[in-house]
């Protein structure tokens, strides 16, 4: 449209100039420059076109997505409005225009959007929030308009009566207006998206549904979240144990598993893993099996893959003998305290360096916990402090290896304070002074450290023995650890 208008104006001026006897060559030159710039913008991607709008690489259905039964159920309920558009029109129901998927990275938000397209038999157009932000004024708004045009044209081309527009990283495009004071292009682009969503109608030839994904829904502009735009918000959270088991089964369908593989045990040991983590876990286990020249993937490969996904590849750096013994004492301290406050909680103790960690105690959660008592949080702090207290008792001093433990312990102590479980009672996070919070955290840490020290002093012999075994064997399973502790207690009795 822009090119046609420019061409018409240029010809009119040229004819008028020729009538007056004026040379019109400069006008044609200027028009040529504008047309060239427009051509460059289109071909360099400064104006969105259908060629850089992605379609799903493969047909994905909800059956291919594990661990998100609640999210899928909520999403299907909203998608039924797209499928039964005639029925909802008879009932006078306003169509749902937008669905917001929010949750941590790797939980399957993009997969859910692709599955939604198959479920509703809709054309699928995907893009990212960052695609709309440019230094050129007006380009972002033009891209938004082009996006909706592309979705309609694609649906017509595929002979479908509905299209789904998926916008990943919507928080980049839909951030609260005024937060980018030096760049009003952000606000113009968001305004255009709001206008386009308001223009979605149920009586058109093509039904448009916008699905967006974000990790930070708190950053979004309130106008975007009001009813009539993103009508539904679906939380796509980390999977629980049964969800993790379901995901593991999906990702091991095409892999040869050994007879000793226990997926339920792996699901139990992977608390806090997202779907992406579990997919990587299965892939890494297969790689480890291939390195061992094994025809099947064994349980040991999955166990090692868990550590690799959490901490990374084994480090080539070889610690000194002194460092090895200190790490052994440190990890033995963590493990013993963990078993004392939460029996059967240790899955593995290792001093094999991975990533930046020289050692690691992997714990297993029998049940996924959503709420915690003060006593449970205090036990978690005690486990964090077990390593540094063990170093102090056995070696007579502490080391910088406890820095990460202290950070975790402080975060847990803050949770105690801010949830009203400390001696300060219920407080306002905004009104309480940092000094008062810091003093309370220090007191919590001091009390728990005293408890840990008393507990390890009674287990000093076991601590040294387990540290020595760990130094020689490098890795001890949770069952072996509990066996060593029980044997020592029986010998003392």
Report the CATH number at residue 250.
Answer: 1.10.8.60
Do 467 and 327 meet the contact criterion of CB atoms below 8 Å apart?
Answer: no
Confidence of residue 36 (pLDDT cuts 50, 70, 90): low
Residues 15 and 130 in one domain: no
Mean pLDDT calculated for residue range 9-20: 61
As a whole number of angstroms, the distance between CA 321 and CA 394 comes to: 16
Instruction: Please answer whether residues 335 and 347 qualify as being in contact, where contact means their C-beta atoms are separated by less than 8 angstroms.
Output: no
3-state secondary structure labels for all residues of 357-393? ECCEEEECCCCCCCCCCHHHHHHHHHHHHHHHHHHHH
Average of per-residue pLDDT across 11-26: 61
Q: d(Cα 162, Cα 148) in Å, to the nearest integer?
A: 12
Number of independent structural domains in the chain: 4
107 and 249 in a common domain: no
What does the pLDDT read at residue 16? 60
Q: Is 85 within 8 Å of 200 (Cβ atoms)?
A: no
Q: Which of 253, 283, 311 is the last residue of a domain?
A: 311
Boundary residue ending a domain (280, 311, 342): 311
Same domain flag for 361 and 432: yes
Same domain flag for 39 and 174? no
Token output for 388: 């540094």
Residue 44 sits at the vertex; the CA angle it makes with 38 and 49, to the nearest 5 degrees, is: 80
DSSP per-residue string spanning 43-106: HTTSS--GGGSB--SS---GGG--S-HHHHHHHHHHHHHHHTHHHHHHTTPPPP-EEEEE-STT
Are residues 292 and 258 part of one domain? yes
Last residue of a domain, one of 291, 311, 331: 311
pLDDT at residue 44 tops 50: no
The two three-digit tokens of residue 17, written as one number: 């100039």
Quick one: how far is CA 247 from the chain centroid?
16
Please spell the DSSP secondary structure of 390-418, one letter per residue: HHHHHHSS--GGGHHHHHHHHHHHHHHHH
Q: What is the pLDDT of residue 134?
A: 57
In which band, very low, low, confident or very high, does the pLDDT at 293 lie, cut at 50, 70 and 90?
very high
Average of per-residue pLDDT across 366-390: 86
Q: Are residues 329 and 473 in the same domain?
A: yes
Residue 16 within a domain:
yes
Q: What is the pLDDT of residue 252?
A: 92
- 326 and 471 part of one domain: yes
In the residue annotation, 331 being an active-site residue is answered as: yes
Q: Supply the CATH number for residue 143's domain.
A: 3.40.50.300
Is 435 domain-assigned? yes
Average pLDDT taken over every residue of the chain: 81
Q: Assess if residue 316 is contained within a domain.
A: no
pLDDT at 435 (0 to 100): 92
- Greater confidence (81 vs 211) lies with 211
Whether the CB-CB separation of 247 and 283 falls below 8 Å is answered with no
pLDDT digits (tens, 9 = 90+) for 121-157: 888 988 887 777 654 455 777 888 888 888 888 888 8
Greater model confidence, 252 or 35: 252
Residue 202's domain comprises 51-235
**Residue 53 in this model has a pLDDT that exceeds 60:** no
3-state helix, strand, coil in the chain (%, to 5): 60, 10, 30
Q: Are the beta carbons of 413 and 381 closer than 8 angstroms? A: yes
Lowest-pLDDT range, 192-196, 378-382, 408-412? 192-196
Report the pLDDT value the prediction gives residue 313, as an integer from 0 to 100: 65
Residues 373 and 448 in one domain: yes
Residue 438 inside a domain? The answer is yes
Same domain, 268 and 212: no
* Confidence check: pLDDT of 341 > 60: yes
pLDDT value, residue 314: 64
| Confidence tier at 50 by pLDDT (50, 70, 90) | very low
What is the number of residues in the chain? 493
- Considering all CA atoms of the chain, what is the largest pairwise distance in Å, rounded to the nearest integer? 117
Among 331, 339, 391, 440, the active-site one is: 331
pLDDT of residue 448: 95
Instruction: Please indicate, yes or no, whether residues 222 and 363 belong to a single structural domain of this protein.
Output: no
Check whether residue 182 and residue 217 sit in a common domain. Answer: yes
> Which tens digits make up the pLDDT trace of 410-449?
999 999 999 999 999 998 888 889 999 999 999 999 999 9
Q: Is the pLDDT of residue 48 over 70?
A: no
Residues 103 and 215 sit within 8 Å (Cβ to Cβ): yes
Sheet strand arrangement including 162-168: 123-128, 162-168, 207-214, 98-102, 230-235
Q: What's the rounded Cα separation, in Å, for the pair 268 and 75?
A: 27
């Amino acid at each position: 449209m822009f090119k046609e208008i420019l061409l018409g104006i240029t010809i009119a001026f040229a004819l008028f100039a020729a009538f007056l006897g004026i040379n019109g060559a400069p006008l044609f030159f200027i028009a040529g420059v504008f047309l060239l710039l427009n051509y460059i913008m289109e071909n360099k991607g400064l104006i969105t076109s259908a060629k850089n709008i992605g379609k799903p690489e493969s047909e994905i259905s909800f059956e291919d997505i594990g661990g998100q039964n609640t999210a899928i159920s909520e999403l299907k309920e909203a998608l039924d409005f797209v499928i039964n558009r005639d029925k909802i029109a008879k009932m006078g129901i306003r169509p749902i225009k937008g669905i917001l998927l929010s949750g941590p990275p790797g939980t399957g938000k993009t997969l859910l959007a692709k599955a939604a397209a198959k479920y509703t038999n809709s054309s699928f157009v995907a893009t990212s929030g960052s695609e709309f932000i440019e230094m050129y004024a007006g380009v972002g708004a033009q891209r938004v308009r082009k996006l909706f045009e592309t979705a309609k044209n694609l649906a017509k081309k595929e002979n479908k009566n509905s299209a789904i527009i998926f916008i990943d990283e919507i928080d980049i495009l839909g951030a609260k207006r005024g937060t980018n004071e030096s760049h009003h292009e952000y606000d113009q682009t968001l305004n255009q998206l709001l206008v386009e969503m308001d223009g979605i109608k149920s009586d058109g030839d093509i039904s448009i549904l916008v699905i967006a994904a974000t990790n930070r829904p708190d950053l979004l502009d309130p106008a975007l979240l009001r009813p009539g735009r993103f009508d539904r918000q679906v939380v796509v959270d980390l999977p629980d144990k049964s969800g993790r088991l379901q995901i593991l089964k999906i990702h091991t369908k095409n892999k040869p598993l050994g007879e000793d593989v226990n997926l339920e045990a792996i699901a139990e040991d992977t608390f806090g893993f997202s779907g992406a983590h579990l997919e990587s876990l299965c892939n890494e286990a297969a790689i480890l099996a291939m390195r061992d020249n094994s025809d099947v993937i064994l349980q040991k490969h999955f166990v090692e893959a868990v550590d690799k996904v959490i901490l990374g590849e084994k480090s080539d750096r070889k610690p000194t003998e002194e460092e090895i013994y200190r790490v052994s004492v440190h990890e033995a301290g963590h493990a013993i305290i963990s078993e004392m406050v939460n029996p059967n909680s240790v899955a593995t103790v290792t001093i094999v360096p991975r990533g930046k960690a020289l050692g690691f105690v992997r714990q297993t959660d029998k049940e996924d916990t959503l709420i915690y008592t003060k006593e449970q949080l205090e036990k978690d702090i005690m486990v964090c402090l077990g390593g540094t207290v063990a170093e102090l008792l056995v070696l007579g001093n502490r080391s910088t290896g406890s820095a990460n433990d202290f950070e975790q312990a402080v975060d847990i102590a803050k949770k105690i304070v801010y949830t009203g479980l400390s001696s300060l009672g219920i407080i306002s996070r905004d009104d309480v002074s940092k000094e008062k919070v810091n003093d309370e955290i220090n007191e919590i840490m001091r009390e728990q450290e005293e408890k840990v020290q008393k507990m390890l002093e009674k287990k000093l012999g076991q601590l040294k023995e387990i540290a020595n075994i760990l130094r020689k064997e490098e890795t001890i399973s949770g069952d072996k650890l509990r066996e060593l502790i029980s044997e020592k207690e029986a010998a003392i009795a």
